[in-house]
């Protein structure tokens, strides 16, 4: 079964194009400098429409998660973590943690993680995270 994938809208296309091209793109208000997520055409803090897109570091910490023991059919048959990471730039986003066992012992809150783009189709790569190297 094919994995459930996002359908970009005009307001979010830059984000998904970035993931496809190997860049995690965030938006920042050029008036108040606030960085935010998910994407939209204005700053949710000050309502300014003067916003810019920039490449984020891809670095984050593991903020919270659950380990789903009743896998969704498109996600395989093994338990998997559904996580929220806090990006170094401030915003939090939902993701999966890959490259380590899906156990409480391996998934420790506040551990450093880094983005890993997982290609799904020619258009969509998902921004997953893995334990930071080095």
Partner 1 sequence: MKPKSIAVVGAAETTRLGKIPDVSVIGLHADAALNAMKDAGLKPSDIDGVATAGISPVELAHYLGITPTYADGTSVGGCSFMLHVRHAAAAINEGLCKTVLITHGESGRSRVGAGGFGRAPSSLMGQFEMPYGVTSPPTMFTIPVLRYMKTYGVSEADLANVAVIQREWAAKNPRASFKDPITVDDVLNSPMIAWPFRMLMCCLVTDGGGALILTSAERAKDFPQKPVYILGTGESVETPMVSQMEDFTSSKAFRVSGKKAFEESGIKHADVDHLMIYDAFAHLPLYGLEDLGFVKPGEAKDFINERNTAIGGKLPLNTNGGGLSYMHSGMYGMYALQESVRQMRGTAAAQIEGAKISVAHGVGGMFAASGTVIFTNES
Residue 3 binds to partner 1 (criterion: CB under 8 A): yes
Of the residues 5, 32, 47, 106, which one makes contact with partner 1 according to CB under 8 A:
5
Stretch that binds partner 1, among 20-28, 53-61, 66-74 (CB under 8 A): 66-74
Of the residues 17, 68, 111, 131, which one makes contact with partner 1 according to CB under 8 A:
68
Cα–Cα distances (Å) from 78 to 5, 47, 72, 100, 109, in that order, read 19, 43, 10, 13, 21
Q: Which is nearer to partner 1, 42 or 63 (CB)?
A: 63
Residue 92 binds to partner 1 (criterion: CB under 8 A): yes
Q: Are 18 and 27 in contact (CB under 8 A)?
A: no
Between CA 26 and CA 58 the distance in angstroms is 10
Residue 96 binds to partner 1 (criterion: CB under 8 A): yes
Query: CB 67 → partner 1: shortest distance, Å?
Result: 4
Residue 48 binds to partner 1 (criterion: CB under 8 A): no
Q: Tell me whether strands 112-119 and 35-36 are parallel, antiparallel or unpaired.
A: unpaired
Between CA 24 and CA 115 the distance in angstroms is 8
Q: For residue 102, what are the contacts with CB-CB under 8 A and spacing of at least 6?
A: 67, 78, 79, 80, 81
Residue 126 binds to partner 1 (criterion: CB under 8 A): yes
Q: Which residues bind partner 1 (CB under 8 A)?
A: 3-9, 12, 16, 37-38, 63-72, 74-75, 79-80, 82-84, 92-96, 104, 109, 126
């Amino acid at each position: 079964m094919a994995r459930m994938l996002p359908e970009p809208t005009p307001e979010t296309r830059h984000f998904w194009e970035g993931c496809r091209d190997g860049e995690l793109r965030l938006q920042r208000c050029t008036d108040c400098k606030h960085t935010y997520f998910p994407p939209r055409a204005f700053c949710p803090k000050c309502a300014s429409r003067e916003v810019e897109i920039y490449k984020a570091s891809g670095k984050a910490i593991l903020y919270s998660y659950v380990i789903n023991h009743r896998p969704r059919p498109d996600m395989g048959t093994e338990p998997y973590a559904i996580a929220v990471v806090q990006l170094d730039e401030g915003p939090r986003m939902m993701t999966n943690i890959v490259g380590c066992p899906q156990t409480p012992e391996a998934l420790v809150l506040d551990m450093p993680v880094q983005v890993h783009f997982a290609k799904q189709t020619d258009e969509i790569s998902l921004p997953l995270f893995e334990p930071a190297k080095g």
